[in-house]
Amino acid sequence: MDRARAAGSLKRFSQGCGVSIPDWMEAMFSGLDDAPDMCAMVAASLASEQCRRLATEGVVGYHIYTLNKPDVSLSVCRALPVRG
């Protein structure tokens, strides 16, 4: 799947869930259509920060949608503290 279709998939997915992508977040990915590694790094960083913020509010579990990008999910999990 090419990058333009992938970006469209993300927008359709979020709209199907009844949510929108904030302008500031969309801007973070602007210009990364030909840089998939950088796009994945930005995605993992944003998701990790969101999980950290949720954790401060008492959330203890997450379901991460990465649209068939398992490396992004793994990066997010590795960035979060593990409790044992």
CB contact set of 66 (below 8 Å; sequence gap of 6+)? 43, 72, 73
Question: What CA–CA distance (Å, rounded) separates 34 from 53?
Answer: 30
In this prediction, what percent of the chain has a pLDDT beyond 90?
A: 24
**E strand or H helix at 17:** none
Top-confidence residue, 81 or 3? 81
Rounded to an integer, the average pLDDT of 7-11 is 66
Mean pLDDT computed over every residue of the chain: 83
pLDDT tens-digit profile of 43-81?
899 999 999 999 999 998 888 888 788 898 899 989 987
Q: Is the pLDDT of residue 1 over 50?
A: no
- Show me where the domains of the chain are located: 3-79
Amino acid at 7: A
